Structure 1
Amino acid sequence: MTPPPQTALPAPDGWRTFVWLWGSQALSVLGSAVAGFAFSIYLTVTRYPLAEQKPQLALALAATALAWGLAATLSAPVAGTWTDRHDRRQIMLGADLLGAALTFAMLGLLLLPAAPLWTLVLASGLMGLVSTFHGSAFDASYTTLVPKDRLPRANGMMQTIWSLAGLVGPALAALLIGVPALLRRSEALPAWLSGLRDGVPFAFAVDGLSFVLAAVILSRLSVPSPKEVTDRSGLQRSFREDMTFGWTFIGSRRPLLALLLTFAVANLCGSGLGVLEPLIVKFGLAADWQARGSTLTAALATLTVTQSVGGVLGGVLISVWGGLKVRRVLGVLVPMIASGLALAAFGLSSTVLGAALALFALGLTYPAMNAHSQSIWQAQVPPAMQGRVFSVRRLIAQFTSPLSTALAGLLAARYAGGSVAVLAGLLLAGVAAAQLFNPVLRRVEDGPAALASAAPESRIGG
């Protein structure tokens, strides 16, 4: 068996570069959160406002989310292989610019009286594709920039940004959506804005500009790209061989595969929340927020913000604490059990306050779960292989997300959204609890993965 190759050390100024890169992505993530919330409001309030349009609303929510998820998931192996073969900075830069172009195209669609649903679905799918290429290059750049002892902190920082975007995004989106109405009341609406029903296009303009700003910052940074791994004869591998490499690497390591399958179940149970939440707010919690003189937009923003507050708090805690140094798998499974119970509690809620508390607990669990999982993978996979391996990891862990979205849309169109959430939450908590006793999964941190698998013809260790 050939000896494992040495892992490249992070760049001397890698932490500073990572902080700048993290900041640039924070802008993009925030912009996407603003646009995502505004799009949900567009579909729920503007496009399908009537109670009898519930089936059409469920279809639109599910179809656009499904297009994004399928494109993002199925393109992962290609994106990972491309990442390991090309300059990672250039990939992220190109993805930011394409993301800006697609966002501005979506803005144009929303300015139409009624854009065909298929165009919105297509745009969502293309955004998912671009996001996967960017995410693959970004995820594979951590270990080339960040010292090993700071990886949990870096992962926690990124989890914090996702949660912070969920906190700030809905509030900013709600503010932008209400701008035309405020101007109309003050009779200060400019003539060129007189045709706007709401400020949803403003939210997409903010998202597009955030992509542009992220690209400008990234253009000033230096992000190392490890040398491409060759086969044992020193010859360059074919693109097809590299696409299968990640499957071989993970398939020969049962503990890593068990961890991925656990996340696949988690995504099956939890990814439908984006479809269920607007429906639960509109139909299941309507009596409560109407009795309080509130609106659907305000209620939905309250829940989204509250979940994000939990996520921000969880992200800050994991960033300051640094996470578990050993038995990190417990940092994955215990929060996963808690998240399943919180999802079930959300489904059982009959008031906005009860639903908000449940989503706060749900958001609190995500950073610890994801940061510990990411740290496990970063410790097991050398930097030059992370694009290919992480892309397959994403595909296996997230292939159930589009299925979850489709099932949520179908079930919520026929049954109460709260009942669907309760069932999903209890299933997630049960599976995660059972995995605590899985001897294979408990070995996921027994030592670095054998890197002799770099040669396709060599025997792969466990």
Structure 2
Amino acid sequence: MTSSTHPAPPAPDGWRTFVWLWSSQALSVLGSAVAGFAFNIYLTVTRFPLAEQKPQLALALSATALAWGLAATLSAPLAGTWTDRHDRRRIMLGADLLGAALTFSVLGLLLLPAAPLWALVLTAGLMGLVSTFHGSAFDASYTTLVPRERLPRANGMMQTIWSLAGLVGPALAALLIGVPALLRKSDALPVWLSGLQNGVPFAYAVDGLSFVLAAAVLSRLSVPSPQEVTDRSQPRSFREDMAFGWKFIGSRRPLLALLLTFAVANLCGSGLGVLEPLIAKFGLAADWQARGSSLTAALATLTVTQSVGGVLGGVFISVWGGLKHQRVLGVLVPMIVSGLALAAFGFSATVLGACAALLILGLTTPAMNAHSQSIWQSQVPPAMQGRVFSVRRLIAQFTSPLSTALAGLLAARYAGGSVAVAAGLLLAGVAAAQLFNPALRRVEDGPKVTAQGAD
């Protein structure tokens, strides 16, 4: 027998609680961006500085990135099930404290003359695991705090933070990394810092403190979990919970169509990280050389421009609040524009034109992500969001590593710009076709959800 589930309304002070939670997590996201950039500097400048160490450097970069990515992706179903079985505030608090401990552990490794690569890979994997558990609990907590009509605004705020971290993080990391060199020039370097080649450990200290601060703020907040999560009167099978997300999504064609559309978007867009340096080096070389610039300056300009677009797009969706009805249009229309912008980037022959295309690409991303998240949050009962969202993340993101690999393979044979054009047009075409998909257009008219599943 099933009984209808009527999710409890958000707490009266839920929006205020969310803003505090968002603010503290924003510092943590920024701290992680600082540490991530500093880690790459450590590997390239300190750990493997010699040209003949290129194979070791490539191994270290790929191994640590793969460890984080695989741990984060493969643990998603487990993290989602755990989220729907335990207090979500405690999960986030524990993840913040574990994140702080792991970050300070890496700091200690970086102070060694030569940090063991296996230890760096291990901590990277553990950080990916912790990040997934925290993200699962955080994503599933929105609807217990934020009224439905404010969900796009809340999601836009998070999109803003991710974009801002990508913009500010590297600059702040570069500033911290350069501190010992500046002190040496002024003969003000303390004895206890004399052994530091650069300030990479400072960046990890900032990241560790950001985790501690996030945990301190969270410890003072009340983040309710749905009664179905904390109720132990009707124990559920862990194995059945692990499979629940797959069944839930598989039985809802509109949500599955939306999810597969994003899988295509990630397939088309995730290779930009590979294509952008190649386009800057070869496709835009005539322009930046004619201006007396350099590849480094051109690539930095492209990266910063896209990040600025992401920040502006996030601020816009946060202030506007997004569509209240037919939110799927807030996904598909920006996705079409994003695909055309990616194609325009591939067509560009000047740095200015490429920047304009990337600015538009950055502007559209927060809108489609915020509206998509809002649809899922409104269609999945709060007590089920951990399990469903984890499977959603796994399906949507499995194409990202495939995209990166394909971009590298195709760019080795064809011009990077041509690959970007093809990917952009494919994305725009798929998104445009989905405008005429009646199932997807009805994604917000989902079936009635009961305590055990769908009626």
Output the TM-score relative to the length of structure 2: 0.88
How far off its partner does 1:284 sit? 6.8
Check whether the contact 1:267–1:398 (CA below 8 A) recurs between aligned residues: yes
CA distance in 2, matches of 1:285, 1:61: 27
Q: Is the 8 A contact 1:310 1:361 kept in 2?
A: yes
Indicate conservation of the 8 Å contact 2:87/2:230, yes or no: no
Residues 58-457 of structure 1 correspond to what in structure 2 (within 5 A)?
A: 60-228=60-228, 235-277=234-276, 288=288, 292=292, 296=296, 301-347=300-346, 349=348, 352-408=351-407, 420-445=419-444, 447-452=445-450, 454-455=451-452
Distance across 2 between alignment mates of 1:241 and 1:329: 31
In structure 2, the CA distance between the partners of 1:240 and 1:273, relative to structure 1 (3 Å rule), is same
The superposition leaves residues 104-135 of structure 1 with CA deviations (integer Å, 9 ceiling, x where unpaired) of: 22333444455454443333222111111001
Q: Does the Cα contact within 8 Å between 1:58 and 1:412 map onto a contact in 2?
A: no
The question of whether the paired residues in 2 share the 8 Å contact of 1:332 and 1:370 is answered with yes
SS of residue in 2 equivalent to 1:451: coil
Range with bigger deviation, 358-367 or 338-347:
338-347
The answer on whether the counterparts of 2:252 and 2:446 sit within 8 Å (CA) in structure 1 is no
Q: Which residue of 1 aligns with 2:12?
A: 12
C-alpha distance 372-152 of structure 1, shift in aligned 2 (>3 A) = same
2: distance between equivalents of 1:228 and 1:330?
33
- Higher mean C-alpha displacement, 49-58 vs 434-443: 49-58
Greater shift in the superposed pair: 363-372 or 182-191: 182-191
Q: Distance in 2 between matches of 1:295 and 1:197?
A: 26
**Structure 1: distance between partners of 2:177 and 2:295:** 14
Give the 3 Å change call, closer, same or farther, for CA 289–147 of structure 1 in structure 2: farther
Cα separation, partners in 2 of 1:74 and 1:382, compared to 1, 3 Å: same
SS of the aligned residue for 2:227 comes to coil
Change over 3 Å in CA distance of 1:364–1:348 after alignment to 2: same
Q: Is the 8 A contact 1:379 1:448 kept in 2?
A: no
Residue 438 of structure 2 aligns to a residue in which SS?
coil
* Structure-2 change in CA distance of 1:404 and 1:108 (3 Å): farther
Worse-matched range after superposition: 147-156 or 107-116 = 107-116
State how far apart, in whole Å, the 1-side matches of 2:429 and 2:447 are. 29
Structure 1 residues 194 and 359, CA, compared in 2 at 3 Å: closer, same or farther?
A: farther
State the alpha-carbon separation in 1 of the partners of residues 415 and 188 from structure 2.
Answer: 43
**Could you say if the C-alpha distance between residues 259 and 61 of structure 1 is closer, same or farther in structure 2, counting changes exceeding 3 Å?**
farther
* 8 Å contact kept, 2:178–2:198: yes
Distance 2:247 2:155 in 1: 26
- Cα distance in 2, alignment partners of residues 118 and 275 from structure 1: 26
Q: Is the 8 A contact 1:166 1:304 kept in 2?
A: no
Change in CA separation of 1:134 and 1:276 when aligned onto 2, cut-off 3 Å:
farther
Is this contact kept in 2: 1:342–1:425, CA < 8 A?
yes
Maintained 8 Å contact 1:346/1:359: yes
- Rounded to whole Å, the distance in 2 between the matches of 1:36 and 1:317 is 27
Q: Is the 8 A contact 2:86 2:229 kept in 1?
A: no
How far, CA to CA, are the matches of 1:421 and 1:38 in structure 2? 29
Q: Deviations over 1:350-402 (max 9, x none)?
A: 65544433332221111101110011111111111111111111111112223
> Alpha carbons of 1:237 and 1:126: their partners in 2 closer, same or farther (altered >3 Å)?
same
Q: CA 1:65/1:428 → structure 2, altered by over 3 Å: closer, same or farther?
A: farther
- Structure 2 runs not aligned, ≥5 long: none
Q: Answer yes or no: is the 8 Å Cα contact 1:69–1:401 preserved in 2.
A: no
Change in Cα spacing, 1:295 to 1:98, as seen in structure 2 (3 Å) is farther
Q: Is 1:21 the equivalent of 2:21?
A: yes
Distance 1:24 1:143, change over 3 A: same
C-alpha separation in 2, matches of 1:411 and 1:108: 41
Q: Give the match's secondary structure for 2:5.
A: coil
CA contact (8 A) 1:99 1:208 kept: yes
Query: What SS does the corresponding residue of 1:222 show, helix, strand or coil?
Result: coil
Q: Name the stretch that deviates more: 175-184 or 378-387.
A: 175-184
Q: What are the Cα deviations for residues 40-82 of structure 1, in whole angstroms up to 9, with x where unaligned? A: 4445566666888777666554443333222111111111111
Task: State the Cα distance separating 1:422 from its structure 2 match.
Answer: 4.3
Q: Would you say the 8 A contact 1:65–1:405 is kept in 2? A: no
Contact 2:85–2:230, Cα closer than 8 Å, also in 1: no
291 and 206 in structure 1: CA distance in 2 versus 1, 3 angstrom threshold: farther
Q: Residue 78 of structure 2 aligns to which amino acid in structure 1?
A: V
Specify whether residues 188 and 293 from structure 1 end up closer, same or farther in structure 2 by C-alpha distance, changes over 3 A only. farther
Q: Alignment identity in percent?
A: 85
RMSD: 3.2
Name the amino acid aligned to 1:324: L
Q: Number of aligned residue pairs: give it.
A: 454
Call closer, same or farther: CA 1:364–1:75 in 2, change over 3 Å: same
Name which of structure 1's ranges 428-437 and 251-260 shifts more when overlaid on structure 2: 428-437
Q: CA separation in 2, counterparts of 1:328 and 1:321?
A: 13
Contact 1:67-1:122 within 8 A present in 2 as well: yes
C-alpha contact (below 8 Å) 1:230/1:236 kept by paired residues = no
Distance in 2, Cα, partners of 1:209 & 1:331: 37
Contact 1:160 1:367 in 2 (8 A): yes
User: How far 1:332 sits from its partner (Å)?
Assistant: 0.7
Once residues 415 and 78 of structure 2 are traced to their aligned partners in structure 1, the CA distance between those partners, rounded to angstroms, is 38
Q: How far apart, CA to CA, are the structure 2 residues paired with 1:224 and 1:430? A: 42
After superposition, the Cα gap between the structure-2 partners of 1:284 and 1:58, relative to the gap in structure 1 and judged at 3 Å, is farther
Question: Cα distance 1:428–1:59, how it changes in 2: closer, same or farther (>3 A)?
Answer: farther
